[in-house]
A and B are shown apart, each in its own frame.
Chain A
Amino acid sequence: MGKVKCECGHVNPHGTILCESCGRALTEEAQREKLHDMRYEGSARRSQTYNKTIIDKVWNFFSSVKVGIWLIVLTLIASSIGTIFPQKLFIPNNVSPETYYEDTYGVAGKIYYTLGFYDLYNSIWFIGLIAAIGVSLVICSLDRVIPLYRALKNQRVARHSSFMKKQRLFTSKEGTLQSGELDKVKEKLKSKRYHIREEEGSLLAEKGRFSRWGPYINHIGLIIFLIGAMLRSTEGMYTDAMLWIREGETLEIPGTQGEYYLKNEKFTIENYDEKKDPEVFKEALKRTGGVVKNYQTDAVLYRDENRDLPGAKPKLVKVKDAEIRVNEPLKFDKFALYQDSYSKDEMKAMEFALADKATQKEAGRVKIDLFNPKDTYDLGKGYKVEIIGYYPDYDGIGSDGEPKTKSPLPNNPAFLFKMISPEHPKGEISFTAIRQTLEPVGKTDYKMEFRGIETRNISALTVRKDLTLWILGLGGAIFMIGVIQGAYWNHRRLWIREINGEIYVAAHTNKNWHGLKREINSVIEGTSVPIPEDQQG
């Protein structure tokens, strides 16, 4: 493509507005400007130069900051809509979203559900918006950073007079630069950490150029972050599983391919205690009632040494003991186990006494493991209890006359017992549920008397493996570096030049003009060099 050769001899890329080297205006438009648009140093941006092919058009669309801002604003509005009512994720999990939103929020809820806002952040259009922001980030940055880099690299010390005149801060005065005076200025500039370049009769003082790269660096950080977030859906990068584990149980940890096992020794919930805990909490505890102090699972982590032997039984070797608390996950290998939830006092075993109704004499006791009840409990001396039916989650008698169970979990256990005694060697039948005894086949002499219950807690642990975290961390760190670089430093330049018996002084900054003015005033004050004036506004 045709290059543009400036009068100063520098060859500029096609589309350049201000000569990279001397700053002379290369387009008629730029020549007419009152003040030069210095945002990208008048460099040749692809989007401003080509507009023929489809690629050009797509490029130009996404390279527009205006489009970028629209994408940001749309994402912002969409995100806020998602907080009007709770997202699908946050509604009770035993209700269907289809009815929940209408039942709870009326017509508005129905509209919210119908429009799909109940799962807005996973919707294709929302993810599409984020992806479009990603594309916009890349193209906007590339469109600007390369030409900007070229322009700043090729800039000459002696800038063309028209370039200097069209800077926002500018002045000119008849006279010549006295070297003594200039030295004073240079001295002060150096003490303000300016980098000084000189070419016969011209001076360029510059500092903080690296802050111009800040936006591009932070965009790189964002891109890395978005890539990291995308990778989570890649197989093997991310595990999200739940492990419900009862006290005393040892279970394989899901997602570890049978490598790791966990034993739950004990699950504890501890509340703050008005007496034991610091007195300052007393008022608050009185006002709010109980406040939980700790959720904790005492666990043992095992590793299966036999997992590579097909068909072999697991051989568990202890890896470590762990106390898993909220904010203190158990970490091993690439996994982390988090204390997430719990269920308290699940029934584990029930104890009954076989008793003679008339004499109240106990013939013996049976303790029934609710997860693994035996068929027969022999009490000796001719006494025996058989379990004919077990209904762990008893839900009344069905239409067929049989007791029903809602689930295999012992939430409301009921039994059909056969009580065998020396008097009744064939046995008597008793149906026993919590606070209820039926004698379905006639009156009995014996009964099963409830004696006690054993409970245990279930701890719910989240199993997490997330191999993308370091990518996200890297992206975040790069973003922070870039954003700080761009926000906390300014790119400032001061040009002093003598042209045909006149002293030209011009200055430019990418932001904070007051700061620049103050700094230049303090540098130039008391010398014969004139102080540049704000030509804007």
Chain B
Amino acid sequence: MSDLVQWSGNLLYASFIMYLVATFFFGGAIRPKKNGEKQEENRWGKLGITVAIIGFISQLGYFFTRWAASGHAPVSNLFEFITFFSMMLVGAFIIIYFMYRLPVLGVFALPVALVIIAYASMFPRDISPLIPALQSQWLHIHVTTVAAGEGILAISFIAGLVYLIKTIDQSKRNKQTFWLEMIMYSLVAVIGFVAVTTTFTLSGYEAQFEYVNKDGNVAKETFTIPAIVGPNESKLLTDGKFEPIVDMPAFINAKKLNTTLWSLAAGAVLYGLLRLLTRKRMGALVQPLVKNVNTDLMDEVSYRSILIGFPVFTLGGLIFAMIWAQIAWTRFWGWDPKEVWALITWLFYAAFLHLRLSKGWHGEKSAWLAVIGFVIIMFNLVAVNLVIAGLHSYA
């Protein structure tokens, strides 16, 4: 490993710490003042944004040193792309912050960015050479624009989430509280994924299986966490390891499903503990944080982020994507799953804009849509790459 790569890793680490620190500063900034007046930007807020910017610069440092080391923009595998997405999310937050000066956005945007970076680090981090299809200037142009667009759109999710946490009545149980808890649980499940992966990686767990794959051939697969579900007609080769409870049919990737199950389970444990200890829904737990939030303003931030992000996403995710697809794959559109999901994302936000403009979907409806939009983006980012194989599956 060259020094540059070492440096790059350290800078990413530093930015992670900075975002964490900035989150606490922003937390300080939204504490209600004694006189109970509306919150203006205060010293804590200034500190928060300063640290966040330093963190962002540090992450930019990671990006460019890694670029220098590998000779290509580090957006070529899942670790690099997700990390870059988190950077764009923070960048978008900083821009929106200077437009609206709302520390509360930082309290939610930065932890989400932290979770995303942690998630990204679970994928192989070594610098991989580019396969011929990726050797193009369009790699930088297309991927960075898509990530920027998605980062900005993610801020609309953050604002929508703040809106929902503030407005949803926690005094009784209903559909809204249920779904809000689902969002919270999903975030916790990502932390669960990180915890499980890290634990078993550190303990060096490895179990090899022989199984029959989709084409009817015998193949081998190594599980790095204990297999709850095993591959099709699996046979455990490593002695003394956990035997799968049930085997999956051949077309399901048992290893990935197993990881997902573990993450969901770990998430459930974590979430359950939180509920038990606090005796509150997580939505109710964080509600005090948003006490001073102006919901109208949050609604506008959410909408504004979509207005800013939508053209950027269109440019990167559809137009640049089509230009590159024409060059690399001979056709600008081929209904590859990733392409389709980019189209779905685009259609979804188009529907959102029309609902808002013509049907007057403001406030809560709009906030839920912003959440769903983010779910679609995450699905495209994670599930389409990992689950649905296609030209874009690079992990």
Binding site for B on A (CB under 8 A): 39, 65-66, 68-69, 72-73, 75-76, 79-80, 82-83, 86-87, 89-90, 104-106, 121, 215, 240, 272, 277-281, 283-285, 287-288, 291-295, 325-327, 329, 336, 338-340, 462, 464, 466, 469, 472, 476, 479-480, 483-484, 487-488, 511-515, 537
Contact = CB atoms under 8 A, between A and B. Distances in A.
Contact of B314 (A336, A340, A469, A480): A480
A487 B149 CA distance: 14
Task: Count chain A CB atoms within 10 A of each CB in B348, B354, B359 and give the residue with the most.
Answer: B354
B197 interface: no
Contacts of B97: none
Contacts of B138: 327
B304 interface: yes
B209 interface: no
Given A72-B354, A73-B351, A278-B70, A293 B132 contact: yes
B351 A76 contact: yes
Interface size class of B (residues with CB under 8 A): 35 or more
Interface stretch (B23-31, B173-181, B320-328): B320-328
Contacts of A340: 330
A462 B128 contact: no
Task: Count chain B CB atoms within 10 A of each CB in A291, A462, A476 and give the residue with the most.
Answer: A476
B133 A326 contact: yes
A479 B1 CA distance: 46
Contact of A487 (B5, B310, B354, B388): B310
B300 A104 contact: no
Interface string B233-265: 000000000000000011100000000000000
A363 to B, nearest CB: 46
The B contact surface, by secondary structure, is helix
B285 interface: no
Interface of B: 1-2, 5, 69-71, 100, 124, 126-129, 131-133, 135-136, 138, 214, 249-251, 296-297, 300, 303-304, 307-308, 310-311, 314-315, 319, 322, 326-328, 330-332, 334-335, 337, 340-341, 343-344, 347-348, 350-351, 354-355, 357-359, 384, 388-390
Contacts of B337: 83
18 contacts: A39-B358, A69-B359, A75-B347, A76-B347, A79-B340, A82-B335, A293-B129, A325-B132, A326-B328, A327-B132, A462-B330, A464-B330, A466-B326, A469-B332, A472-B332, A480-B315, A484-B311, A537-B296
Contacts of B129: 272, 277-278, 281, 284-285, 291, 293
Given A73-B351, A514-B296, A281 B133 contact: no
A280 B358 contact: no
Nearest to A214: B311
A425 to B, nearest CB: 53
Contacts of A73: 347, 351
Contact of B344 (A76, A284, A288, A295): A76
B354 A295 contact: no
Contacts of B131: 291-292
Contacts of A83: 337, 340-341, 384, 388
A292 B134 CA distance: 11
Contact of A76 (B71, B133, B327, B348): B348
A483 B335 contact: no
A327 B328 contact: yes
B310 A283 contact: no
Contacts of B348: 76
Nearest to B389: A86
Given A69-B355, A325-B132, A284 B126 contact: yes
B135 A104 contact: no
Contacts of A479: 314
Given A295-B132, A326-B135, A278 B326 contact: no
Top 4 A-B pairs, shortest CB-CB distance: A283-B126, A326-B132, A65-B358, A284-B128
Nearest to A121: B335
A82 B297 CA distance: 39
B334 A89 contact: yes
A82 B340 contact: yes
A513 B362 CA distance: 13
Given A83-B384, A104-B251, A487-B308, A281 B128 contact: yes
Contacts of B297: 514
The A contact surface, by secondary structure, is helix
A513 B300 contact: yes
Nearest to B126: A283
A284 B319 contact: no
Contacts of A285: 129
Contact of A514 (B1, B300, B307, B359): B300
Contacts of A277: 129
Contacts of B249: 106
A66 B311 contact: no
Nearest to B125: A283
Nearest to A490: B307
Contacts of B384: 83
B63 to A, nearest CB: 15
A68 B354 contact: yes
Contact of B135 (A288, A327, A336, A476): A327
A377 B322 CA distance: 56
Contacts of B250: 104
A76 B126 CA distance: 36
Contacts of B304: 512
B308 to A, nearest CB: 7
A403 B129 CA distance: 48
Given A39-B358, A480-B314, A487-B310, 19 more contacts: A65-B357, A69-B355, A69-B359, A90-B390, A277-B129, A280-B5, A280-B69, A284-B124, A284-B126, A284-B127, A294-B132, A326-B133, A327-B133, A338-B330, A464-B331, A469-B332, A512-B304, A514-B100, A514-B300
A388 B106 CA distance: 83
Contacts of B300: 512-515
A488 B214 CA distance: 49
A138 to B, nearest CB: 15
B321 to A, nearest CB: 11
Contacts of B303: 511-512
A469 B334 CA distance: 15
A201 B131 CA distance: 70
A62 to B, nearest CB: 14
B220 to A, nearest CB: 14
Contacts of B311: 480, 483-484, 487-488
Given A69-B351, A280-B2, A79 B328 contact: no
Nearest to A280: B127
A272 to B, nearest CB: 5
Contacts of A293: 129, 132
A462 B69 CA distance: 35
B329 to A, nearest CB: 8
A536 B331 CA distance: 50
Contact of A280 (B70, B340, B354): B70
Contacts of A106: 249
Task: Count chain A CB atoms within 10 A of each CB in B138, B249, B327 and give the residue with the most.
Answer: B327
Contacts of A327: 132-133, 135-136, 138, 327-328
Contacts of A480: 311, 314-315, 319
Contacts of A82: 335, 340
A454 to B, nearest CB: 27
Contacts of A515: 300
A476 B325 CA distance: 15
B126 to A, nearest CB: 4
Given A89-B335, A327-B133, A511-B303, A288 B128 contact: yes
Contacts of B358: 39, 65-66, 69
B340 A80 contact: yes
Contacts of A292: 131-132
A39 B357 contact: yes
Contacts of A537: 296
Given A69-B355, A72-B350, A281 B344 contact: no
A68 B340 CA distance: 20
